[in-house]
């Protein structure tokens, strides 16, 4: 029995002779795009600058080549692994009538050999294999990530900012405690508001005060701690809003009642599809 919102396989019928398939291996400065074009024996491979307009032109050119070879393209599907670029490209492509998917990187099986070959070209071949299997509806090839809207992504920022700030606070406090323990001081609490005033009175078990460089370092860490603590307490309402949104089931946050990774091409709008596919 199929699971609701199952992103491990596609439920849309796959017609390979009328579907243009592309995958992207993304890096910071360039994109390597590999395609499977109906009617063309070779599998084209093109390196692009990080330019979404150039990517769209490439897909349209490949579509025109398929039409010249006698294959009418009714569907363009493109996929890439989730990473630094997030989901903005998938949203941008979907707004222009292209089926865009984001592959969960942990769901792609790779060779565990210690000295395996690792190039962008080989990565695109692997992505093509798993994406084709996913489009055919075969299990255990890969899983797709649900593509959030811009508002859903922004709703996560307060909680993530708070987690980052709490982590910074913990690192600063641990560093200060470790610094004091090196001198045999264990009963001093650097998180107290009056802690900077108590630095001068601190004594080591030998009865000596803290060395001047160590005392100056502790003061700087306490100043950093105050800044981080003030930022944590500055926007409690924003953080609580983020927690409230996080408790809402994912299905209720989706912009469409369809499963998150199985949206029809119709959600991009009939006008966009007619413009894209030349209908």
Q: What is the pLDDT of residues 83-111, one digit of tens each?
A: 888 899 999 999 999 999 999 888 877 77
The predicted-structure confidence for 100-158, as pLDDT tens digits, reads as follows: 999 988 887 777 666 666 787 888 888 999 899 899 888 778 888 889 999 999 999 99
Which residues lie across from 102 on neighbouring strands? 80, 145
Q: Is 107 strand, coil or helix? A: helix
Q: What is the pTM of this model?
A: 0.71
Transcribe 223-265 into DSSP letters: HHHHHHHHHHHH-HHHHHHHHHHHTS-HHHHSSSSS-TT---G
- Tell me the CATH number of domain 16-147+256-277, given options 3.30.559, 3.30.420, 3.30.43, 3.30.1050: 3.30.420
Domain boundaries, the chain: 16-147+256-277, 152-246
């Amino acid at each position: 029995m199929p699971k609701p919102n199952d992103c491990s396989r596609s439920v849309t019928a796959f017609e390979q002779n009328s579907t243009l398939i592309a995958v992207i291996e993304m890096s910071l400065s360039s994109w390597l795009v590999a395609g499977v074009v109906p009617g063309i024996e070779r599998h084209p491979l093109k390196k692009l600058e990080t330019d979404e307009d150039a990517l769209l032109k490439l897909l349209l050119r490949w579509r025109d080549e398929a039409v010249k070879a006698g294959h009418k393209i009714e569907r363009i599907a493109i996929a890439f692994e989730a990473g630094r670029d997030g989901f903005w490209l998938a949203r941008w492509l979907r707004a222009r009538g292209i089926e865009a998917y984001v592959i969960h990187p942990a769901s792609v099986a790779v060779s565990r050999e210690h000295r395996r070959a690792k190039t962008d070209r080989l990565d695109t071949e692997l992505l093509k294999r798993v994406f084709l299997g996913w489009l055919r509806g075969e299990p255990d090839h890969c899983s797709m990530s649900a593509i959030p809207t811009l508002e859903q992504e922004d709703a996560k920022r307060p909680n993530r900012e708070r987690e980052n700030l709490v982590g910074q606070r913990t690192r600063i406090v641990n560093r200060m405690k470790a610094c004091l323990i090196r001198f045999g001081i264990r009963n001093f609490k650097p998180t107290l508001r009056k802690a900077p005033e108590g630095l001068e009175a601190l004594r080591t078990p030998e009865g000596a005060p803290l060395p001047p460089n160590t005392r100056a370092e502790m003061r700087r860490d306490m100043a950093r701690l105050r800044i981080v603590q003030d930022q944590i307490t500055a926007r409690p309402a924003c953080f609580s809003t983020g927690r409230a949104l996080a408790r809402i089931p994912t299905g209720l946050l989706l912009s469409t009642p369809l499963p998150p990774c199985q949206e029809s091409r119709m959600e991009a709008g009939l006008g966009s599809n007619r413009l894209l596919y030349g209908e």
